[in-house]
Amino acid sequence: MDIRNYSHKMTVRLIFIHNLIKSGSYPDNKKLVDEYNTCTRRDTSLSAINRDIKALKYEYNAPLKYDRHRKGYHYTEPFELPVNKINAEQAFYLSLCKRLLSGLAGTPVIDRINEVIDYIASTGGSDKSFASRIGTLPKPYTASIPQENWDAVMDALKFNRIIEFDYTGRYKKEKTHRRIWPYQFMLNDGTPMLFAYDELASGGKGGERLFVLNRMENIKDTGKTFKLPENYDFASRCRGGRFGMFISDYCGEYEIDLYHDARYLVRECVWADDQVLIENDEKDCTTIKFTSAQYLKVLEWVLARGDCAIPRKPERLVNLWKYSITNMKWNMEHNL
């Protein structure tokens, strides 16, 4: 019998009944009702338990027998309920996925993911108390995305559908109309995004772009489909850089000096596939060299290091860094 034909509530009851019978406590139907309601703080009926006992015996072929002397059920031979094929350790790691996926908060998909993970983990005997010892940092997440927008985007991804919508960009505040081939759904620090080919980009010439889902309005299915290219992975567009959600046609060779505490930060992670670290303990400096097509994200990374980071190359990064520092100095002098 395929367990998926049963409701989630019935499956939970079957697991509870199986474990109680397996414990050797010889429960009868009334005891099963009382124990289940007490332990789970849920309400079930005697008729529901009667149906569950029949399912165990006739659908799962459990070696179940009622002992008239002890007035309860027991298994006449070893039996395991075939709910899923994962063990307790695997279920534990699966339950951790729920915590690690906290970045999906605010999206309609998170409730479905949690439901599936909770179901599989509970049937595998996961130790939820131990799983709670693995924490995730609170992060901001995007405002709730309307269900109809989410469904439209997911359908477009599943069936390679071309969609169009109105969009407000990060740098251009006026709304523009877009018509895209959605390649990938991704998360950027809790913000749901799409990597796609935009037919209307660059004045109709077309180009690959990134879109924030909650800025997409009036989403419509064009009724047309597209052929997904072989190489559609966003990571390949970053030219080896690992600085987040940003791509551009410009790919540069970077050289940045990190001082003092920032030296430890740069050593702890791989920031680019071809990164090279050069240590100079005499100057208390670590230089990182790498290639990336994510110059604005690299700029943000350098600025976040404050006075412990100085960019040396490329010239574009150095000029943007100087411009940002100059503006901050002006704000400090005129607005404080």
* Averaged pLDDT, 274-289: 95
| Conformational region of residue 306, where left means phi above 0, alpha means psi within -120 to 50, and beta covers everything else | left
Distance separating alpha carbons of residues 172 and 12, to the nearest angstrom: 52
Is 317 domain-assigned? yes
Domain presence at residue 203? yes
CATH code for the domain of 177: 2.30.30
Looking at 182, 199, 232, the residue that finishes a domain is 232
- pLDDT at 105 (0 to 100): 65
Residues 6 or more apart in contact with residue 195 via CB below 8 angstroms: 182, 183, 184, 186, 208, 209, 210, 232, 234
Residue located via tokens 């600025």: 303
Number of structural domains (the chain) is: 4
Among the three residues 210, 232, 254, which one is the final residue of a domain in this structure? 232
Q: 308 and 286 in one domain?
A: yes
The residue type found at 171 is: Y
What is the Cα–Cα distance from 178 to 194, expressed in whole angstroms?
13
Q: Answer yes or no: do 187 and 215 share one domain.
A: yes
Q: Are residues 192 and 244 in the same domain?
A: no
In angstroms, rounded to a whole number, what is the distance separating the alpha carbons of residues 308 and 262? 6
Identify the domain containing residue 109 by its residue range: 88-131
Report which listed range, 135-144, 201-210, 286-295, is most confident: 286-295
Residue that is written with structure tokens 């009667």 in the block: 50
The pair of three-digit structure tokens given for residue 162, joined into one six-digit string: 């071309």
Whether residue 72 contacts residue 27, with contact meaning beta carbons closer than 8 Å, is answered with yes
Q: Is the dihedral of CA 57, 62, 66, 72 positive or negative?
A: negative
Residue 46 tokens read as 């005697």
Q: What is the pLDDT of residues 221-270, one digit of tens each?
A: 999 999 999 888 888 888 788 888 777 778 899 999 999 999 998 999 89
Q: Based on the fold, state whether residues 191 and 270 are members of the same structural domain.
A: no
Give the domain CATH number at 287: 3.30.70
Sole residue written with tokens 């740069």: 266
**C-alpha span between 152 and 163 (Å, rounded):** 8
Angle subtended at Cα 134 by Cα 131 and Cα 138, rounded to the nearest 5 degrees: 125
138: in domain: no
- In this prediction, residue 170 carries a pLDDT of 74
pLDDT tens string 39-94: 887 888 999 999 999 988 888 889 999 999 999 999 999 988 876 555 666 666 66
Is 289 part of a structural domain of the chain?
yes
Tell me: pLDDT of 289 over 90: yes
Same domain, 110 and 97: yes
Same domain, 225 and 240: no
Domain boundary among 204, 232, 260: 232
Both tokens of residue 234? 């966003």
Nearest CA to 223 among 303, 291, 164, 290? 164
- Based on the fold, state whether residues 125 and 159 are members of the same structural domain: no
